[in-house]
Amino acid sequence: MSIENTAVIEQDRKHVWHHLNQHSVLKSQDPMVMVKGEGSRVWDAKGNSYLDASSGGVWCVNVGYGRSSIAEAVSKQLTELNFFASTAGTVPAAEFAEKLLAKMPGMSRVYYASSGSEANEKAFKIVRQIAHLKYGEKKHKILYRERDYHGSTIAALSATGQEERRKQYGPFAPGFVEFPHCCEYRSQFGDVSDYGVRAAKELERVILQEGPDTVGAVILEPITAGGGVITPPEGYWPTIMEICKKYDVLLHIDEVVCGLGRTGEWFGYQHYGIKPDIVTLAKGVASSYAAISCTVTTEEVFNEFMADSSDREAYFRDISTFAGCTAGPAAALENLRILEQEELVHNSKMMGDYLLEGLIGLQAKHPIIGDVRGKGLLLGIELVSDQDAKTPVDESVAVKVAGMCMAKGLIIGRTNRSFASLNNTLCLCPVLTLSKQEADFIVTTIDEVLAQLEAS
């Protein structure tokens, strides 16, 4: 390890406050500091190389590391114009909006911000303001689903169905109401043939409980990501859409993780024929080469804010400073070009199917695997101590498995301090350039680790 890298480790230990870490452990062990990325691999300051099956640790480096063309596109744009507030337009923002919407039939407007949490906040404000403008303030409640995650701000946490994520951060914003999850492996109704419809009708039950005239929107991930990689069961989404239409409830789809090819379609909702009113995007929009998020709406939602110019309060009275940074849409444009030219959405589907097949093979081999699920390159492995009883392993087991994988040169994700008893799912979210050889390495490494674990 070089002197420079030794120095940066100490600088990090002394001065950087890491996300999701208990720093007391860094008194006895070095912090991990990443120094390089290329393709699907990253290197730390100690010279260790890893295949990154977490796309940057938080599921966002969709096109992989080291894309010089994105860096060049950003550099060129920044020297031309680095920023102007989004009260006006810029060339890359206009161009990217048009190209993005071409992938999203039925959607027509893009509102820019900097992060997924912020994109969801904008959507919540849209719903709340429509309640004032159109419904005499009544339809202001926003329903969210158990196990879904929507961000780290207080309002986004207010809409997050993960109790440990929320713990110690209340009191929360009023008007956010939870309804039950749709994880068929953890069925609330026992072994039934119509689980998807039953789970969806839990939304209707909560709407009626709250009063339909008070509910303005529901926010949902198309596939629950950090809550355990939960794919919706058959019949779920058609029933959800029927309920939203019946009670005049806006359907807000959170695509922060699933968007831009992650699931083998351009957007996760496109697997299920969903017709959203609002879609929120971040992470893969620019593969994290620059900060950008989008709150995308239909023209009908946009038109709720069209009024006489003399009305001081009828327009959407929101602003995001860094939405005016041109680096985000410039990076997003080149990111989109790469996704198209290299056919990475198709690769996500093909390699996702291939990887899923390998993981299902491991399930037959290792009793600790209770369920394997996902779409495209968004996959989950739920660990159990008893396959028949579906007893979840303790979180410490998932932590150990992830650590053993890292020791073998593979970075994977996991449900992380999100639930009281269900932090037992390993999460795979590799870059969309994944090859068969790399997929084989992922499966082989997990196989070896589980065999070691079972033998100990």
Q: b/e string for 317-341 if b means 16 or more Cβ within 10 A? A: eeebebbbbbbbbbbbbbbbebbee
Report the chain's mean pLDDT, rounded to a whole number: 96
**Residue 357: its pLDDT value, please?**
98
Cα–Cα distance for residue pair 331/292, rounded to 1 Å: 9
CB 120, CB 111: distance < 8 Å: no
Using a pLDDT cut of 70, give the percent of the chain over it.
100
**Residue 95: its pLDDT value, please?**
98
- Name the β-bridge partners of 161: 146
**Residue 298: its pLDDT value, please?**
98
Cα–Cα distance for residue pair 275/286, rounded to 1 Å: 24
CB 259, CB 348: distance < 8 Å: no
Quickly count: other Cβ atoms within 10 Å of residue 67's Cβ.
20
pLDDT tens per residue across span 51-104 = 999 999 999 999 999 999 999 999 999 999 999 999 999 999 999 999 999 999
Phi, psi of 275 (to 5 degrees): -115, 90
Cα–Cα distance for residue pair 374/143, rounded to 1 Å: 24
**Residue 241: its pLDDT value, please?**
98
pLDDT above 80: residue 3: no
CB 348, CB 270: distance < 8 Å: no
**Averaged pLDDT, 319-333:** 97
pTM above 0.95, yes or no: yes
pLDDT tens per residue across span 97-152 = 999 999 999 999 999 999 999 999 999 999 999 999 999 999 999 999 999 999 99
Terminal C-alpha separation, the chain: 32
Determine the length of the chain. 456
Q: Which tokens is 292 given? A: 């950008």
- Any idea which residue has 């620059």 for tokens? 290
Range list of H helices, 344-419: 344-365, 395-407
Furthest CA-CA distance within the chain: 74
DSSP 8-state secondary structure symbol assigned to residue 167: T
HSE at residue 242, side-chain half, CA atoms within 13 A, is 10
Sequence-ordered list of residues with C-beta below 8 angstroms from that of 330, at least 6 positions apart, any chain: 73, 74, 76, 77, 78, 92, 290
Grouping H, G, I as helix, E, B as strand and the rest as coil, residue 421 is coil
pLDDT tens per residue across span 430-448 = 999 999 999 999 999 999 9
**Residue 1: its pLDDT value, please?**
66
Give 312's pLDDT tier (boundaries 50, 70, 90): confident
**Residue 313: its pLDDT value, please?**
87
pLDDT tens per residue across span 375-389 = 999 999 999 999 999
**Residue 75: its pLDDT value, please?**
98
pLDDT tens per residue across span 199-218 = 999 999 999 999 999 999 99
E strand segments, 94-157: 109-113, 141-145
